[in-house]
């Protein structure tokens, strides 16, 4: 949606997250899309903090490793940013011509963006008029701090690649959802992506984004909670979170620490949903689709379904994408699919369909 520098075929969706780098390449087929390349490389916890890349060398090495080991030939990538440096607002403006809107946006942005306008990259999309006879139109305003964008572009360039589009995580989720689930025009869906350090929320009405929010509550909070409660190292706590054993302790020993974070997570999601309801024409959120590395945490979907009183499910962004079982192990894909929502959504940008 934003900062398009030209849309080319054979682009790679590159999700640079706090705990890992994920790359997905899709090919367009007659029936839709096929998975061509896939790679994941883990990152140390302090590599990216609050959306800021602290150790660029490690990220560059991870990207290069993925491309080399998975024989990804394309140099054109689509990346996304998220976190407190990304501002997304739906605003109402008087109806005007596109060229007038282009001139008006920087002035309008000053009301909504907590940074100097000259320090951000701005983009916008007209969502439509409130009614055919209305004198107003809904506009989605996006602002991202330039230094964050420049950091990502510099790393990608140093890795020998070219960023052809910079997107926002929440919109990448939306792209992935549209292909995987074919939006119902009457349904309100909450997309919740639980990354390691940031949770992205995008609420869609009829497939159109109505509300987005990033929260600094991610999967790392589970690890930190286990670490503190059981007196373990970060690595040991991570092992327990992922279902392994540490010194005779199992996932169930970590359950009280996990339940604490589940409650915190549900509260954070509920606050976002309540804010949406208070500012929207819709009271009901019909379903929640949970993605990210912690989406498959045992008991989480059931806990959120009961706590939010909304049916929740784990995302499978590959459900309508063809995969060759000779190339990609189906069991492996089933496990990692929820982590791929952003990278799949970015890879879909290759066709220039948005």
Q: Looking at residue 210, which CATH number applies to its domain?
A: 3.30.420.40
Which residues, 6+ apart, have CB-to-CB distance to 208 below 8 Å? 127
Alpha carbon distance 292, 342 (integer Å): 9
Look at residue 129 in the predicted model and tell me its pLDDT.
57
Look at residue 166 in the predicted model and tell me its pLDDT.
93
In a domain, 198, yes or no: yes
In a domain, 261, yes or no: yes
In a domain, 124, yes or no: no
Look at residue 182 in the predicted model and tell me its pLDDT.
82
In a domain, 354, yes or no: no
In a domain, 285, yes or no: yes
Alpha carbon distance 264, 281 (integer Å): 27
pTM listed for this prediction: 0.91
Residue 279 Cα to chain centre, angstroms: 23
Look at residue 183 in the predicted model and tell me its pLDDT.
83
User: 160-181: string of b/e by CB count within 10 Å (b at 16+)?
Assistant: ebbbbbbbbbbbbbbbbbbbbb
Contacts by residues 105-108 (CB-CB < 8 Å, ≥ 24 positions apart) = 105/139, 105/141, 108/141
Look at residue 5 in the predicted model and tell me its pLDDT.
37
Task: State the burial class of residue 254 (Cβ atoms within 10 Å of its Cβ: 0-12, 13-18, 19+).
Answer: buried
Residue 303: give the domain boundaries: 183-314
Look at residue 101 in the predicted model and tell me its pLDDT.
92
Q: Specify whether the CB–CB gap between 228 and 257 falls below 8 A.
A: yes
Residues of the chain with pLDDT under 50: 1-8, 351-354
Alpha carbon distance 344, 38 (integer Å): 10
In a domain, 303, yes or no: yes
Residue 173: its H or E element: helix 169-181
In a domain, 146, yes or no: no
In a domain, 251, yes or no: yes
Domain count, the chain: 1
Q: Specify whether the CB–CB gap between 284 and 187 falls below 8 A.
A: no
Residue 23 backbone class (left: φ over 0; alpha: ψ -120 to 50; beta: rest):
beta
């Amino acid at each position: 949606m934003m900062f398009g520098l030209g849309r080319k075929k054979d682009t790679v969706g590159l999700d640079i997250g706090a705990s890992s780098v994920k790359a997905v390449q899709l090919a367009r087929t007659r029936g839709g899309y096929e998975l061509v390349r896939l790679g994941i490389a883990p990152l140390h916890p302090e590599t990216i903090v609050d959306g800021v890349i602290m150790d660029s060398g490690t990220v560059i090495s991870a990207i290069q490793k993925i491309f080399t080991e998975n024989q990804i030939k394309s140099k054109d990538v689509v990346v996304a940013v998220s976190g407190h440096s990304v501002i997304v607002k739906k605003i109402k403006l008087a109806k005007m011509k596109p060229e007038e809107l282009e001139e008006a946006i920087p002035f309008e942005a000053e009301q909504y963006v907590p940074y100097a306008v000259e320090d951000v990259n701005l983009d916008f999309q007209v969502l439509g008029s409130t009614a055919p006879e209305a004198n107003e139109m809904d506009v989605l305003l996006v602002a991202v701090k330039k230094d964050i964008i420049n950091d990502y572009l510099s790393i990608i360039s140093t890795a020998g690649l070219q960023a052809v589009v910079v997107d926002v995580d929440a919109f990448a989720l939306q792209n992935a959802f549209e292909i995987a689930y074919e939006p119902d025009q009457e349904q309100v869906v909450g997309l919740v992506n639980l990354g390691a350090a940031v949770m992205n929320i995008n609420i869609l009405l009829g497939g159109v984004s109505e509300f987005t929010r990033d929260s600094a509550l991610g999967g790392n909070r589970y690890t930190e909670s286990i670490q503190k409660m059981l007196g373990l190292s970060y690595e040991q706590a991570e092992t327990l979170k992922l279902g392994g054993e540490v010194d005779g302790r199992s996932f169930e020993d970590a359950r009280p620490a996990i339940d604490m974070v589940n409650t915190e997570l549900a509260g954070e999601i509920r606050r976002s949903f309540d804010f949406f309801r208070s500012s929207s024409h819709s009271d009901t959120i019909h379903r929640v689709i949970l993605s990210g590395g912690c989406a498959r945490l045992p008991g989480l979907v059931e806990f959120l379904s009961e706590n939010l009183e909304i049916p929740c499910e784990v995302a499978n962004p590959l459900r309508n994408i063809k995969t060759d079982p000779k190339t990609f192990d189906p069991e492996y894909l089933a496990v990692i699919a929820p982590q791929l929502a952003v990278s799949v959504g970015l890879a879909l940008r290759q066709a220039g369909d948005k």
